[in-house]
Every structure is written in C-alpha cells, then in structure tokens.
Amino acid sequence: MCGLAGTTTVEDRDRVSVALRALTHRGPDDEGCWSDRAGAVTLGVRRLITTDPGMAANQPLISPDGRFVFAFNGYIAGHRRLISGLRDQGQQVECDSDAALFLTVLGNALRDGGDPAKALADLSGQYAFALWDCVLRQLWLGRDPVGIKPLYFSEYGSGNVAFGSEFAALRCIVPAMPDQNVFPHYLAHLFVPALATGFADIRQLRPGELICWQDGKIDSRMIRPAVRHRAAGDNTVSDLRRAIRQSVADAMDADREVGTLLSGGMDSGAIAAMASDVARERGQKPPPGFVMQFDSAEMDETPRAQQLAKHLGMELHIVAAPDRPEEILAHLNDGLRAFGSPFGNPSVVLMQALSAVVSRHVPICLAGDGGDELFGGYPRYRAAAMFGAWQSVPDFIRRKMAGNIARLLPRGGARFVRGGQGDAQRAFQYWNDRCGLAELGARLVVPEDLPDGDLCDRMMAFDRLVTLPGNQLAMSDRCGMAYGLEYRVPLLGHEVMAIAGRVAAQGHLRGGAKSLLRAAIAPMMPDGYLSAAKVGFNPPVSDWLAKLGGLLWGREARIIEMLFADLPIMDRTRQDYWRSATRHGEQDMALGLWALLVWRIWQTHLATDRRAEIKYAKGSVDGSIKAAVQAETLPEAAM
C-alpha cells in the first residue's frame, strides 16, 4: 500500500513534499514526486513495497509512450495472471507490479476514447489512484468500488484541486475549516459518512467514484463491478468455497511475508483456514496468526483462536488488549490522528494496539472484514427478518412490550421491541442509529440509490454501502497504515461478493446467521468451532468510559460538565446518563457517551492542528508543520 498526495499546480510542489513526509507511515520504503513541465500538476507517492521490489516499479509510474503519469495505492487480485495475459496479447507492461497492470488497463481505455469506469470494473482488489493525462491535460482520481482505500480532495484557489490519502497530508497543501454540521451524522453512525469529512472544504470520494479534473472543472462517474448474473442453486456452497480460496490465494500473492488475523470468529477463521491450505499447496508453512486477548473470559476469544491455530498448524501470536487509562488514551489519540476526523467506534483503540504488534512481524495481514455484511452476521438483520411477523402482533401488546417491559429484556430484545413500534422505515432508522441520546438529534445519512427490497435486504445493503466502508474498512486502513501494515480483505473480492449477492438476505439467515458461509467452510474447521456464540471485536466501553473520563477531567462532576458542555440536556439527566453508562453498564448509553468523549478530544486535535495551519499561512513548509501535524500529545489546557 502507499500514500498519495498532489495538486493541479507545480507552485505547491514544496507543500506536496511536506504532505509526503506526513505520509511516511503509509509508505516507509520509497518516495517519488513528479511535476508537469507545463506547470499543470504535481503527483507524489510514499510507497510500501509489497509487489515487485525492482526499481522499475517505483512510483509515480510513467507509461511507455510518456502520455500518462500514475500514482497508485492498493493491490489488484490476480495481477500476475492478468499481466501475463496482457503480454500474451502483445501489450507492453513495464514491470510486474499491480500498479503497472492498473496503469495499462486504464491507459488503454483512455487512448481508445472508452469509458475508464467500465474498463476498471473487472479489476478486483482495493485501491485509490491518481493519473495525469499529459495529452488531454486531465487529472483522474478514483477509489475502489467497495471503499477499502481512502482518497480525499479539496477544490481551492482558481479552480485547482489538491488530493491526499489522509487529512494530515492534504492539510499540508490546503487549509481546511472544521465542519460542525457533521455532528448529528457522526453521532448516528459513529463516523462521518461520505461525501462529508468533518471539514468544510474537504470531501472524500465515494466508494467506486471516479472523477476527472480538467481546466478547473470536475466530472464524476461510478465504477461498478461487472456482475455476471447466475441464479443461486445447489452449487452455491461449493462456488463460494472456491471463490474465497481463490481470493485468499490472490491476496497472498505478494513479495513480502503475509500474516492473518485470527479473532476466533467465523470470518477470520475462514480466511485463516483457506490461507493455511494455500500455503501448504505452495510448499510453504501456514502464515502466522494474531489474536487479541482480553482479561474478561466473556470477551476473550483466545481459546477458540488457539483451537483453530492448532488444527491448522499455525503459529499464533497473542496480543494483550489495552487496559490502563493512559494506554487506552494514547491509542485513541493515535487513531484519531490517523483518521483526522471524528471516529467514535471504540474498537479503533484495539485495532491500533493490535496493528502495532502485527506490523513488527509482517507487512501484510489478511483480515475477515465484510463477512457480517455479506453473509448476515449482525443481530439487527435477524430483527429485520422478524419484523413482518412482529407487525402482526396487536398494537397494544407491542406498545406494552416497548414500555416498562423492555427494561427487563436483554439489550437485543429491548432494541427489537422499541424499534418495531412503527413502520419499516422507523425500524430501519432506529436499528441503524448508534446514538443512545435522543435529545441530540442524531441523523442517519441514507444513500438515495439504496436498493429497494424488504427491510432485511435494505439493512444489509445499507451496511455494505455506508457502514462497511466508513467504519470497519476505514478502521483497518488507518490503523494498519499507521504502522506501514497492509490489511487485505479477501471476503470482499468481486466474485465472493457476487456469489453472496445471489442469495437474498433472509436466505443467509435461514438456519442461523451466516448459514451460507458456515456451510462453505465447515469441512475445514475443527469440531465445535462453528457452534460457539459470536463475541465480536468489542472493548468494555462502560469501563473505558469511566477510566478515560477520570484521566481527562478528574471527578465525576467535572467529567459530566465537560462531556455535556453546550448540549441541550438537563443537569439531572446528564448525571443519570453518566451513571447509567458507567455504573449500570447500559451499553447503548455508554456508546453514545463514548462518541461524545471522542468528539471532545477531536476538538483538542483541531486546536493543535490550527497552530500548524497558522505556520502554513505564513508560508512555512519546513519540518515544523510536520511536527505540529504529527504532535504526540494533547495539550493539558485543552482538556
């Protein structure tokens, strides 16, 4: 993987150089910067070398005819097979990297006057890129259709564009004002969904978006994976098993060592089992596995990971979950700096801690991201599947259940009966809203092109289009690349997704969650492994909230004052909310207050960054900007 930065002017080349230094963690192995002689564009890359370590693969790449200059972040599945096929057709591919493959495919389409979005539809993988067409004077920026890799851009000056893989880099080129209007959306999602970013002048490309800049104007279109229609039938299970194995094999096709996460769950277990099988076929030992260990037996999946690792003959590294307040805060600060925008999923702390250890062993790690969204793993999908039956229950019974009785139910049951009081749209909003504080007016961002279908289908589609790229995939990218670690997600290969999509949402739930995936991987798993209850990669939020509140602000009264400052919640209610979250372990409330705490910390990061931008405004492009952007501590006064 790599980090990208650039502008549509050479006057800002020095600032692009500063931006590249801010991206060193994404690409610790090499740096390249290219400026157009006519003064139209500057492209910069920091490179993490995972394929083709030869000098010919250093970026930016220039096409053999000199027409295109290309900067690439990501990997393309099966790139060696595809390169071989192109060469057999007599085409020139300068080196054996997936970046060279991508440049050839995209360049061919542009030379022929074709649709570049259609040309890229067949390339499965994860990527963001920038391409400069020296003939047509066009800058193309794009992002993979699943939304695995990030890319941000800003329009500034007299029709210019700056872009970068992270906010810290982009803000070295152009200033940006915080966008407080994202607050209600952040609360509902626990992240800022595209197109917004948390900054008024910066937006992120949507998953699959391809934009073209020319003479100050921007055109946008979408890359949509080619769909080969085929009805689900008796061979769906074997098709899925084969597709996952091929996707894992492609992800392991690298010139660096590969590891795999092994949480103890079904998704990472499937990847680990396939990876071990592929390695043995290649005459290699199984890749090393990594699992996070928790003190609480209820949360810890280490025993299951050890069971599977022993079954597969895999070396297993156990990483202790952070527990001390100072340790939790340090990882949270690092995660927020990696994002640059508010990110309220507390698992970011775990991913930061895990990635720091994994990166010491391997530069590439396979992960099971996407399994829940593709194969129906979340409890709210089961709630949606039962919605129709629940609506047939008399109104007075449903109202009674949603009242005082709901307080006696487990969390999942309480959310089900409360969310199921109205129509399907109300249920959709309630079950997807992560904010437990009704007074704050949290609002979901729902895509206009969300596919029609029953409630369960819409819930799963919403997660694939919005929550997966904005939450899990963003977290894996930022936390991994903070340490020069490339996470690859084989379950999100195009063919795997196409096979999963042939089955209706309720079909994935028939016989229990993830029934299709379960059937596909069962022959590879040890006895009893798949029958254990789902735990999930989640920290003890109530405990962490109390620990960080005390560390940041001291006594309970001060914590409540700082946490709820300027919010329309009565003093007594604020106290009740805090105690409900920290003393009674009310999970939804704890998650809502954690999101508030993260928002407050993000504000202190903005204050630190603002000092850096003041230096930028004075024309400073020396190391002081980099030091300010990558500041290691939060100012005490800001707490």
Ranges of beta strands (E only) in 277-332 are 289-293, 316-320
Return the pLDDT at 52: 86
**Residue 156 CA to its chain's centroid (Å):** 27
Question: Alpha-carbon distance 585 to 594, whole Å?
Answer: 13
The mean pLDDT value of the chain amounts to 90
The phi and psi torsions of 78 (rounded to 5 degrees) equal: 70, 30
Return left, alpha or beta for 113; rule: phi > 0 is left, psi -120 to 50 is alpha, else beta.
Answer: left
Question: Alpha-carbon distance 183 to 596, whole Å?
Answer: 10
Q: What is the pLDDT of residues 28-59, one digit of tens each?
A: 999 999 999 888 899 999 999 998 898 888 99
Whether the predicted pLDDT of 318 surpasses 60: yes
Contacts 24+ apart (CB under 8 A), 403-411: 411/587, 411/588
Mean local confidence (pLDDT), 620-631: 36
Question: Alpha-carbon distance 126 to 367, whole Å?
Answer: 13
Mean local confidence (pLDDT), 104-129: 95
**What pTM, to 2 d.p., does this model score?**
0.92
Please spell the DSSP secondary structure of 567-596, one letter per residue.
Answer: -S--HHHHHHHHHHHHTS--HHHHHHHHHH
Return the pLDDT at 1: 65
Return the pLDDT at 297: 84
Query: Does residue 261 have a known ligand-binding role?
Result: yes
Q: Which fold has domain 2-222?
A: Glutamine Phosphoribosylpyrophosphate, subunit 1, domain 1 (3.60.20)
Q: What is the pLDDT of residues 262-290, one digit of tens each?
A: 988 899 999 999 999 999 999 999 999 99
The sign of the torsion formed by the CA atoms of 265, 538, 193, 353 equals negative
Confidence class of residue 533 from pLDDT cuts 50, 70 and 90?
Answer: confident
Virtual torsion, Cα 13, 18, 24, 25, nearest 10 deg: -130
Q: What is the pLDDT of residues 64-92, one digit of tens each?
A: 999 999 999 999 999 999 999 999 999 99
Question: Alpha-carbon distance 350 to 452, whole Å?
Answer: 36
What is the amino acid identity at position 251? A
Beta-ladder partners of 188? none
Residue keyed to tokens 């507390």: 346
Nearest residue to 477 via CA among 165, 249, 209: 165
Q: What is the pLDDT of residues 227-275, one digit of tens each?
A: 655 555 568 999 999 999 999 999 999 999 999 999 888 999 999 999 9
Reported as half-sphere exposure (CB side, CA atoms, 13 A), residue 326 has a value of 1
Query: Does residue 98 have a known ligand-binding role?
Result: yes
Mean local confidence (pLDDT), 140-155: 97
In SS3 terms, 75-140 reads as EECCHHHHHHHHHHCCCCCCCCCHHHHHHHHHHHHHHCCCCHHHHHCCCCEEEEEEEEECCCCEEE
Q: What is the pLDDT of residues 397-420, one digit of tens each?
A: 887 787 777 776 777 788 888 888
Nearest residue to 317 via CA among 270, 248, 261: 261
Whether the predicted pLDDT of 619 surpasses 60: no
Burial class (CB in 10 A: 0-12, 13-18, 19+), 219: exposed
Residue keyed to tokens 């022959």: 523
Question: Alpha-carbon distance 185 to 167, whole Å?
Answer: 19
Residues 47 and 74: beta-carbon distance below 8 Å:
no
Mean local confidence (pLDDT), 334-339: 94
Return the pLDDT at 234: 62
Mean local confidence (pLDDT), 209-219: 96
Whether the predicted pLDDT of 629 surpasses 90: no
Mean local confidence (pLDDT), 99-125: 95
Please spell the DSSP secondary structure of 334-345, one letter per residue.
Answer: HHHHHHSS----
- Of 2, 134, 172, 456, which is the active-site residue? 2
The phi and psi torsions of 153 (rounded to 5 degrees) equal: -150, 160
Confidence class of residue 611 from pLDDT cuts 50, 70 and 90?
Answer: low
What letters, b where the CB count within 10 A reaches 16 and e where it falls short, cover 369-401? bbbbbbbbbbebbbbbbbbeebeeeeeeebeeb
Q: Which CATH superfamily is domain 239-376+462-524 in?
A: HUPs (3.40.50.620)
Whether the predicted pLDDT of 216 surpasses 90: yes
Residues 266 and 521: beta-carbon distance below 8 Å:
yes
Residues 366 and 250: beta-carbon distance below 8 Å:
no
- Sheet architecture: strand order including 486-488: 316-320, 289-293, 258-261, 364-366, 486-488
Where do the domains of the chain lie? 2-222, 239-376+462-524, 379-457, 541-631
Q: What number of other Cβ atoms are within 10 A of residue 11's Cβ?
A: 12
What is the amino acid identity at position 31? E
Return the pLDDT at 29: 93
Return the pLDDT at 282: 96
Catalytic residue status for 2:
yes
Return the pLDDT at 55: 86
Residues 595 and 187: beta-carbon distance below 8 Å:
yes
Who has greater pLDDT, 224 or 626?
224
Nearest residue to 312 via CA among 283, 351, 269, 350: 269
Whether the predicted pLDDT of 624 surpasses 50: no
- pLDDT > 90: what percent of the chain? 75
Q: Which of 281-285, 507-511, 531-535 has the highest mean pLDDT?
A: 281-285
Confidence class of residue 609 from pLDDT cuts 50, 70 and 90?
Answer: low
Question: Alpha-carbon distance 186 to 198, whole Å?
Answer: 9
Residue keyed to tokens 């997660």: 463
Whether the predicted pLDDT of 634 surpasses 60: no
Return the pLDDT at 613: 54
Straight-line distance from the first to the last Cα atom of the chain, in angstroms, rounded to the nearest whole number: 35
Q: What is the pLDDT of residues 448-492, one digit of tens each?
A: 889 888 999 999 999 999 999 999 999 999 999 999 999 999 999
CA max distance for the chain: 75
Q: Kindly report whether the peptide bond that precedes residue 116 is cis, defined as omega within 30 degrees of 0.
A: no
Question: What is the number of residues in the chain?
Answer: 639
Return the pLDDT at 615: 58
Residues 342 and 198: beta-carbon distance below 8 Å:
yes
